C-alpha cells in the first residue's frame, strides 16, 4: 500500500489525472451454418446466409471485430473468408464445422456424439486454415453449450474457448430498435457482444442496428477491439 501512495501522490499534488484503462468492447459475429441451413440455401428457400453489409459497415467505421466461422459456412463463402483474412481489422475464430451442439438440449441444435466432436473441430480448423491462410486460435461453441470435458478437448487442440458477455438479441429479430436498446443498456467496459453474420431470416436487422450501436458507443468513449486484444489495452492518461 505504501508503494502505491508514493507513486500516486506526486500526480495528485500536481493536479494531474490518474492513468486509467480505456473503455473497450469486442464485437463478435458468428457465421452459422447447419446442414439444414445449407439445404435451404441450395434449394433457394434462403437467398443468402452472408450479410456482407455488416463487414462494409465495420470497414467504413474502422471497427475491428472477431468473426467465428463454421466450416460449412466457410466452404460456401470461400471468397468472403479470404477477404476477411486479408483485412487486418478482422480476427477469425473457429465455430465448429457443422454447427451442431456439443451437449444435448442446446436450443434447437442437433448434437454431436462424443466420438464426433474431435473430428468436427479438426475439420473446421483445417477448412478455415486452408481458405484463410490463418490458423484459428479461438473457438466458440455452437449455442455456447459445452461440458468440462468439451473444454478440455478444445484446449488439447490449442484453441481457447471464447463465450460472450451478452447476446445482442439480433437472432431472428426484426426489431432494430430492440437490438440497439439491448446492446446500449448492457454494454460495459470489457464486454464481448455476440451478433450474427448470416442475415436473412436468421438475423435480418443486424446491419441496421449496428450503424446506431457503433455511433452511440463511440460517443460514450468506447474503443472497439478484437477479442485477442481485449486484455491488451494500454493505460491512458
* The CA-based dihedral angle spanning residues 46, 49, 53, 57, taken in that order and rounded to the nearest 10 degrees: 150
Task: State what percent of residues in the chain have pLDDT above 90.
Answer: 88
CATH of 22-232, picked from 3.90.1300.10, 3.40.50.170, 3.20.20.370, 3.40.50.300, is 3.20.20.370
Confidence grade of residue 228 (pLDDT, cut at 50, 70, 90): very high
CB–CB of 143/163 below 8 Å? Answer: no
What mean pLDDT is predicted for residues 180-204? Answer: 97
Q: Angle at the Cα of 184 (from 164 to 216), degrees rounded to 5?
A: 120
Angle between helices 78-85 and 52-61 (to 10 degrees): 10
Q: Which residues contact 37 (CB under 8 A, 6 or more apart)?
A: 46, 49, 72, 99, 198, 202
Q: What is the pLDDT of residue 70?
A: 98
DSSP code of residue 90: E
Q: What is the pLDDT of residue 22?
A: 75
- Bridge partners, 90 (sequence order): 65
d(CA 69, CA 196): 10
- What pTM was computed for the model? 0.89
Spatial CA neighbour of 47 closest among 200, 159, 178, 231: 200
Confidence grade of residue 1 (pLDDT, cut at 50, 70, 90): very low
Residue 232, pLDDT above cutoff 70: no
Q: Which residues contact 51 (CB under 8 A, 6 or more apart)?
A: 197, 198, 199, 200, 203, 206, 207
- Per the model's pLDDT, the better-predicted residue between 60 and 9 turns out to be 60
Q: Residue 194: enclosing H or E segment and its boundaries?
A: strand 191-196
Residue 11, pLDDT above cutoff 80: no
Confidence grade of residue 233 (pLDDT, cut at 50, 70, 90): low
Tens of pLDDT, residues 76-100: 999 999 999 999 999 999 999 999 9
Tens of pLDDT, residues 129-141: 999 999 999 999 9
Give the pairing type, strands 223-224 and 235-236. unpaired
Domain residue limits, the chain: 22-232
Tens of pLDDT, residues 107-151: 999 999 999 999 999 999 999 999 999 999 999 999 999 999 999
Amino acid at each position: 500500500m505504501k508503494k502505491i501512495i508514493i507513486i500516486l501522490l506526486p500526480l495528485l499534488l500536481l493536479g494531474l489525472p490518474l492513468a486509467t484503462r480505456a473503455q473497450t468492447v469486442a464485437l463478435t459475429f458468428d457465421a452459422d451454418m447447419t446442414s439444414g441451413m445449407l439445404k435451404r440455401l441450395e434449394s433457394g428457400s434462403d437467398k443468402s446466409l452472408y450479410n456482407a453489409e455488416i463487414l462494409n459497415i465495420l470497414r467504413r467505421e474502422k471497427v475491428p471485430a472477431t468473426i467465428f466461422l463454421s466450416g460449412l459456412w466457410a466452404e460456401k463463402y470461400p471468397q468472403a473468408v479470404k477477404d476477411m483474412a486479408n483485412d487486418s481489422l478482422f480476427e477469425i475464430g473457429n465455430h465448429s464445422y457443422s454447427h451442431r451442439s456439443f451437449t444435448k438440449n442446446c436450443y434447437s441444435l442437433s448434437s454431436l456424439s462424443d466420438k464426433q466432436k474431435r473430428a468436427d473441430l479438426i475439420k473446421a480448423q483445417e477448412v478455415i486454415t486452408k481458405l484463410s491462410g490463418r490458423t484459428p486460435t479461438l473457438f466458440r461453441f455452437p449455442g455456447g453449450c459445452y461440458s468440462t470435458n468439451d473444454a478440455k478437448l478444445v484446449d488439447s487442440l490449442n484453441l481457447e474457448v471464447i463465450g460472450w458477455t451478452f447476446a445482442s438479441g439480433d437472432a431472428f429479430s426484426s426489431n432494430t430498435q430492440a437490438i440497439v436498446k439491448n446492446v446500449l443498456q448492457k454494454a460495459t467496459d470489457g464486454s464481448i457482444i455476440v451478433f450474427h453474420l448470416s442475415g436473412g431470416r436468421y438475423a435480418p436487422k443486424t446491419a441496421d442496428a449496428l450503424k446506431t450501436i457503433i455511433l452511440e458507443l463511440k460517443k460514450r468513449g468506447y474503443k472497439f477491439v478484437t477479442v485477442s486484444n481485449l486484455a491488451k489495452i494500454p493505460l491512458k492518461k
